[in-house]
Structure 1
Amino acid sequence: MNEANLAIRYGAAAIGLVSEMPSGPGIVSEGLIAQVTTKVPPGVSSFLLTSKFDTLAIVAQQRRLGVNTIQICDRLQWGSHDDLRQALPGIAIVQAIHITSEAAIEEALAVAPSVSALILDSGNPLLPEKELGRTGRVHDWTISRRIRELVNVPVFLAGGLTPDNVKDAIQAVQPFGVDVCSGVRTNGKLDEDKLSEFFNQVYKSFKTQ
């Protein structure tokens, strides 16, 4: 909770809580996620990053953990986004779109009408060991910009963002918001200096839009 409090103090509007994933750092146990969720202040969203692709399993996970936002990091294979919205009224549903090629544009357009928002990330769910985010890689922002222009829901930008490149990223894509993980860490721990500079660059960038 110390890291969450630090991020909130600098202005984070949402806290990402990473549940079990096939790869990547930063996984948090469900027990800890449930504890943190109860302490997130009003006005700050608690995002559950889930690798589950079965709507029944996602619904059960949300009910166990009490988060107010579900970030689906993989593609749904059983059930639909509409099923989730019906089962979880009042819970925001955010779908991750991993930008590996221009095919992501079509995927985003198909999903957007059924979700609260999209998050554009740099994973690859088609690999034998799926990458569902937290890769530290930047993707092609021109594709993300195109998606942002075409869809009618908020778009968050993720993937390899740092204090050094977030200003360029915001100018290139003009997203609703940005998501950061490894870019504000040193040796796996949240780095307050990097966090401060990241928010400084974000505030400057959004003010000039």
Structure 2
Amino acid sequence: MSRVKICGLKTVEEIRMVNDLLPDYVGFVFAKSKRQISFSQAIAMKQNLSAKIKSVGVFVNAPKEEVLQAASLGIVDLLQLHGDEDWEYVQQIKAETGLPVIKAIRVRNREDILRGEELPCDYLLLDTYRAGAYGGCGEVFDWKLIPMLKKPFFLAGGLNGENVQKAVSRCCPFAVDVSSAVEEQGRKSEEKVRKFLKKVREVQKYE
């Protein structure tokens, strides 16, 4: 059964909304972006988050000390590294925090994914490659590039309520990851989040 991650939450109000809908994961973005939040904001959000939902801290080429601080504050249950972090960086973060690590791979070809699987992370996150960007482009990549993988993976990149069932059926990801497609005017839309979750859960029901 594919799980669901709603990424880029910014307010306690959005936390209360997802508490009613119960995705498996929510993403707190600490990297520079329009969805970036501070650690103090994340503390308040985590305090209000249902214990049934795990929080994922999203970092892009962050100083290790910043990632370690987030872990020590107890605001994240998993760490998502969405930049150019190498084998040594991933290994050190995993060893020093004791938290599961998701390593994002921006997919240009199958070799990108296979190289990613060699990293000492717990999960991969497969996202669309765009030069000069570290995710969030809202475009689908060619799912045929995904090989048989040993590591469980999150599938991202242009997923929405219209195509997520096809994505789950074809790719069998551990989880699907969505952000902009469930927003209205820069805020998470309860209607769109509900629809996205419903679509994913319908696939599980009939398979």
- Please, what TM-score do these two structures have when normalized by structure 2? 0.85
1:16 maps to which residue? 27
- RMSD of aligned alpha carbons: 2.0
The alignment partner of 1:49 has SS state of strand
Partner of 2:14: 3
Equivalent residue in structure 2 for 1:141, among 133, 140, 143: 143
Task: Tell me the matched-pair count.
Answer: 196
Identity %, equivalent residues: 22
Q: Could you say if the C-alpha distance between residues 123 and 26 of structure 1 is closer, same or farther in structure 2, counting changes exceeding 3 Å?
A: farther
Describe the shift of the 1:154–1:71 C-alpha distance in structure 2 as closer, same or farther (beyond 3 A).
same
| Residue segments in structure 2 that go unaligned for 5+ positions in a row | 1-11
2:110 counterpart residue number: 102
Q: 1:141-180 alignment to 2 at 5 Å?
A: 141-144=143-146, 146=147, 149-151=148-150, 153-180=151-178
Number of the residue aligned with 1:118: 124
1: distance between equivalents of 2:196 and 2:75?
A: 29
User: Of Structure 1 and Structure 2, which has the larger fraction of its residues in strand?
Assistant: 2
Distance of 1:60 and 1:123 partners within structure 2: 29
Structure 1 unpaired stretches of 5+: none
- Between the aligned partners of 1:8 and 1:165, the Cα distance in structure 2 is 24
Q: 1:139 Cα shift?
A: 1.1
Higher RCO by CA contacts (8 Å cutoff, separation 6 or greater)? 2
Quickly say closer, same or farther: Cα 1:92–1:78, change in 2 above 3 A. Answer: closer
Cα deviation for residue 168 of structure 1 reads 0.9
1:26 to 1:77, Cα distance in 2 relative to 1, 3 A = same
CA drift at 1:57: 3.7
Q: 1:182, 1:35 → 2: CA distance?
A: 23
Q: Secondary structure at the match of 1:97?
A: strand
Whether the aligned pair in 2 keeps the contact of 1:33 and 1:65 (CA below 8 Å) is: no
